[in-house]
Amino acid sequence: MISAKKLRDYRGAVTDTAGWTGFELRADDVIVDTPPKCGTTWMLHIVMMLIHGKPVPDAGGSQHAPWIDCNFRNQQKIRDFLAGLDRRRCIKTHTPMDGLPYAAEPTYVVVYRHPIDVHFSLRRHHENMKHDALGFMFEGDDRAGFRRFVEGPLTDGGTDDLTVASIVKHYAEARARESNGNVHFFHYADMTRDLRGQIGRLAGILKIDLPDTMLDEIAEATTFASMRQAVETSERRFHEDTPFHDLAGFYASATSNKWEGRLPASDVDDYAKRIAQLLPAQDISWLEWGDRRAL
């Protein structure tokens, strides 16, 4: 049995880390752990297609890679589902790593994105939701919501806070474990610029050996255009039991710099001052732009 340690609990608007209680990790588990709107579903699709060894429709959906510490789903059913799988498992979470059962054997994949893009992507995500669970984060206009994002303190909600501080906390907890060799960092911008290369890198991390032609097929199947088209032609696109007005809206644009034209320079400066209080310059550069920032 794997010996795993969880240092604390997080409980927020959508998270309850009690979902991990009694759950037994396996050595070949893949835990995809990202702040919200950093490419979570995108990465889940990629991981599950690599596990299946081929493109699979809705590979990263909850029936393949469930969100174990989500508080609005039956956590016991999720644990039972995962325990009953005889294939390699992929598990979704948004929790900082001090709130996860951490062990030396599983693989932890973390994905980050420019924090301001995260904020505006989430705002669009909220507008597409049928229920107003996140409304408190976006009261008022763009600037009012952005002030909350910049100034908000850390709470026991973890990334449910959806603030600069909560994203940095998630990042710092992952970096603290990176030297152990089983926490692997990916960036949304790098995936956008070189999706095939990032998929190949991940396949190597997961020790999954696939022909180049299959990696090409998986890369094509996980472009935003392909993923959006699959949802646009799905009978579930506008189904009443989905949480969104338009399920295709989940795949909006895969672009960066979403704040351009929506915020004055002074607000962006306030963000820069805040994140500089929380992280060294080298970490800020990577968290915002990844490894291949265009000069």
Residues 29-62: tens digit of each pLDDT: 999 999 999 999 999 999 999 999 999 988 888 8
Note whether 271 and 164 are within 8 A (CB): yes
Mean pLDDT, residues 263-283 taken together: 96
**What six digits make up the tokens of 57?**
């429709």
CA dihedral 274, 279, 282, 287 (to 10 degrees): -80
Please tell me the predicted confidence (pLDDT) of residue 248: 46
Q: How far is CA 202 from CA 83, 103, 191, 197, 207, in A?
A: 24, 20, 11, 9, 8
**What six digits make up the tokens of 95?**
């929790």
Place 216 in a pLDDT band, splitting at 50, 70 and 90: very high
1 within some domain:
no
Please tell me the predicted confidence (pLDDT) of residue 83: 96
4 within some domain:
no
Note whether 22 and 103 are within 8 A (CB): no
At 127-137, the pLDDT tens digits run 545 465 666 66
HSE-up of 20 (CA within 13 Å, CB side)? 24
The angle that helices 142-151 and 115-128 make with each other, rounded to 10 degrees, is: 130
Please tell me the predicted confidence (pLDDT) of residue 263: 87
295 within some domain:
no
295, with CB counted inside 10 A (0-12, 13-18, 19+), is exposed
5 within some domain:
no
Q: Where are the beta strands (DSSP E) in 94-232?
A: 107-112, 183-187
189 within some domain:
yes
Mean pLDDT, residues 124-150 taken together: 69
**What six digits make up the tokens of 37?**
């709107």
9 within some domain:
no
Please tell me the predicted confidence (pLDDT) of residue 42: 94
At 154-208, the pLDDT tens digits run 999 999 999 999 999 999 999 999 999 999 999 999 999 999 999 999 999 999 9
The boundaries of the domain holding residue 139 are 17-289
Mean pLDDT, residues 6-29 taken together: 96
> For the chain, what is the domain count?
1
Q: Which of 250, 286, 288 is nearest to 44 (CA)?
A: 250
- Provide the b/e sequence for 123-146 (b: ≥16 CB within 10 Å): bebbeeeeeeebeebbeeeeeebb
DSSP 20: G
- As a whole number of angstroms, the distance between CA 137 and CA 141 comes to 11
User: Is a pLDDT exceeding 80 seen at residue 143?
Assistant: yes
Note whether 142 and 19 are within 8 A (CB): no
pTM recorded for the entire structure: 0.88
Looking at per-residue pLDDT, the higher value among 144 and 45 belongs to 45
Percentage helix, strand, coil for the chain under 3-state DSSP, each rounded to 5: 45, 10, 45
Note whether 13 and 161 are within 8 A (CB): no
45 within some domain:
yes
7 within some domain:
no
Least confident of 12-21, 95-104, 123-132, 279-288: 123-132
- As a whole number of angstroms, the distance between CA 283 and CA 246 comes to 36
Looking at per-residue pLDDT, the higher value among 233 and 203 belongs to 203
Provide the CATH number for the domain around residue 222. 3.40.50.300
